[in-house]
Amino acid sequence: MMSFKAALLLSTPAVLALQWPDGTGKLPALGWNSWNAYHCDIDESRILNAANAIVEFGFKEAGYEYVNIDDCWSVKTGRDSKTKQLVPDPKRFPSGISGVANKIHNLGLKIGIYSSAGTMTCAGYPASIGYESIDAATWAAWGIDCKSLSNPSSKLDLKYDNCNVPSNWADKCNACVYNLNNPNNYVNGTCVNPGNYCPAGYNYTTSNSAKRYAIMRDALKAQNRTIQYALCSWGSAGVEQYGNATGNSWRMSDDIQNGFKYVTSILNMNSFNLNDVDFWGHPDADMLEVGNGGLSAAEERTHFAFWAAMKSPLLIGTNLYTASNESKSILLNKYLLAFNQDDVYGAPAKPYKWGTNPNFTFNATNPAEFWSGKSQHGTLVLMMNTLAVSRNMTADFGEIPSLDANGSYNVLDVWTGKNLGSLTSSLTVKVASHDTAALLFTS
């Protein structure tokens, strides 16, 4: 007869997070990814340039560790006919991915790779469904110079996309989710256009999507390396229900693009998703657009502050050699990185007041503006001005959950590092259009 304790152990794994023995996955991933900077136009020299820049400009020292190669790295026409392995494109990557991995490891950084849980990647390259074990073993074998679980450099990152799902793997029904490219279809939590939507209360853990992502998780776990597993399932198929048990992070929206409306749309969606977020499982608000020219400096501050505060993975998506000094200094903000990487407090910052709109309004251009979160270095307060003109915004201590209305606090401006003094009851600051005041309160 099975003991009560054994039965409990058997019944729990499905709800646990993907926890690697070396602690990988406890905190959001920090690194760089090729997609937002170069899309498909990648090669060895661009990847190594990014790795060099990460060291040269102090990003490695600040904690950024992964150099992730996105789509378009392999031979497009197909797998090796004998081994069935994916083959690195010999023109783009003359040293192979393993040669690039060794060079990246020599800089003290880690490499990341990309595939899709379908027959082809989003750009039409061979992908991993049906080949999960072969692909996981292939990636694990690259960078063999440090193939040991006890060597921290042996860590690898996999971004696993959601394109070209074969029909026999289609889900029985779809989740109704806000879509950045079709925003008018989603009104007050309901999808307007008819579609094969799952009923309320549907258990997406039983879906084919959950299974597709779990097969790769198990293939990665069978390797002798830590492989940080980033689900790129676009917030679809109820991934928030099984993402934690399946990967270290899960994309909660479709793709970000280089403009402020994408920042506020994703921020708005994620503001309703943050209640269960803690160590070991992170909704991924998508790769950063800081440095790519589509955002003003104020908008870049807003983008980075909230991605860090929501405990999203922070993957730089720009060429750091051409990004401005201001963009680089935003990405290197030590207070925001410390909040994102806090190993004492796992919960993200959350809205305590919406501001322009009534509390809990779902609005893609004017999301919640007043946020706070606890950290071992104090309470972080963010005030974002979503309006087109500057305005004064007030942090009222009595409204901020972890502050005492009658307490006095030392307040630090996270952007300038300036100490604003010991304050009581409230603080009003002028916030430019689309900018975010970022303040750290300590008692």
Ligand X SMILES: *[C@@H]1O[C@H](CO)[C@@H](O)[C@H](O)[C@H]1NC(C)=O
Q: Which residues form the catalytic set?
A: 161, 255
DSSP codes, 35-70: HHHHTT---HHHHHHHHHHHHHTTHHHHT--EEE--
Is 16 a binding residue for ligand X by CB under 6 A? The answer is yes
- Which stretches of 222-277 are DSSP H helices? 239-246, 260-271
| Whether the Cβ atoms of residue 149 and residue 225 lie closer than 8 Å to each other | yes
What are the b/e assignments for 53-66, b being 16+ CB within 10 Å? Answer: bbeebebbebbbbb
Using the rule CB under 6 A, is 405 a contact of ligand X?
yes
Q: At closest approach, how far in Å is the CB of 302 from ligand X?
A: 16
What part of residues 324-353 is at the interface with ligand X (CB under 6 A)?
Answer: 325, 352-353
* Binding-residue total with ligand X (CB under 6 A): 35
> Least distance to ligand X from the beta carbon of 188, Å?
4
Q: Which window, 70-78, 81-89, 251-259, 274-282, contacts ligand X (CB under 6 A)? A: 274-282
Candidate list 102, 208, 356, 433; residue touching ligand X; CB under 6 A: 356
The least distance separating ligand X from the CB of residue 347, rounded to whole angstroms, comes to 9
From candidates 206, 394, 419, 443, binder to ligand X by CB under 6 A: 206
Identity of the residue, 188 or 196, whose beta carbon is nearer to ligand X in the bound complex: 188
Q: Does 430 bind ligand X (CB under 6 A)?
A: yes
C-alpha distances in angstroms, 209 versus 125, 151, 166, 304?
A: 20, 33, 11, 30
Residues between 159 and 198 that touch ligand X (CB under 6 A): 187-188
Cα atoms in the 13 Å half-sphere on the side-chain side of 275: 2
Under 8 Å between Cβ of 199 and 205: no
Site string for ligand X, 227-266 (x = CB under 6 A): -----------------x----------------------
Tokens of 77: 């026409």
Establish if 85 lies at the interface with ligand X (CB under 6 A).
Answer: no
- Candidates 52, 119, 258, 363; binder of ligand X (CB under 6 A) is 363
Residue type, 312: S
124's torsion region: left (phi>0), alpha (psi -120 to 50) or beta?
Answer: left
Binding part of the chain for ligand X, among 109-117, 311-319, 402-410, 413-421 by CB under 6 A, reads 402-410
Report yes or no: 348 and 373 within 8 Å, Cβ to Cβ.
yes
Site for ligand X contains 281 (CB under 6 A): yes
Using CA atoms, how far apart are residues 32 and 320, in angstroms rounded to an integer?
10
| By CB under 6 A, residue 391 contacts ligand X | yes
User: Is the CB of 224 or the CB of 419 nearer to ligand X?
Assistant: 224
Least Å distance, CB 230 to ligand X, is: 15
Name the CA dihedral angle for 169, 172, 175, 179, rounded to a multiple of 10 degrees. Answer: 50
- Report the residue number, 3 or 188, with the smaller CB distance to ligand X: 188
Q: Locate the DSSP E strands across 147-278.
A: 156-161, 186-187, 190-191, 227-231, 249-251
Pairing of strands 378-384, 436-442: antiparallel
Q: Which stretch binds ligand X (CB under 6 A): 43-51, 151-159, 273-281, 292-300?
A: 273-281
129-158 burial, b at 16+ Cβ within 10 Å, e below that, comes to bebbbbbbebbbebbeebeeeeeebbbbbb
Alpha helices in 190-324 (DSSP H): 208-221, 239-246, 260-271, 297-309
**Euclidean distance between CA atoms 442 and 376, whole angstroms:** 10
Query: Which listed residue (119, 185, 365, 425) binds ligand X by CB under 6 A?
Result: 365
Q: Which stretch binds ligand X (CB under 6 A): 101-109, 158-166, 255-263, 389-397?
A: 389-397
Report in angstroms how near the CB of residue 89 gets to ligand X at its nearest.
25
Q: Is 357 in the site for ligand X (CB under 6 A)?
A: yes
**Contact positions toward ligand X, by CB under 6 A?**
14, 16-17, 187-188, 203, 205-206, 223-224, 244, 276-281, 325, 352-353, 356-359, 363, 365-366, 390-392, 399, 404-406, 430
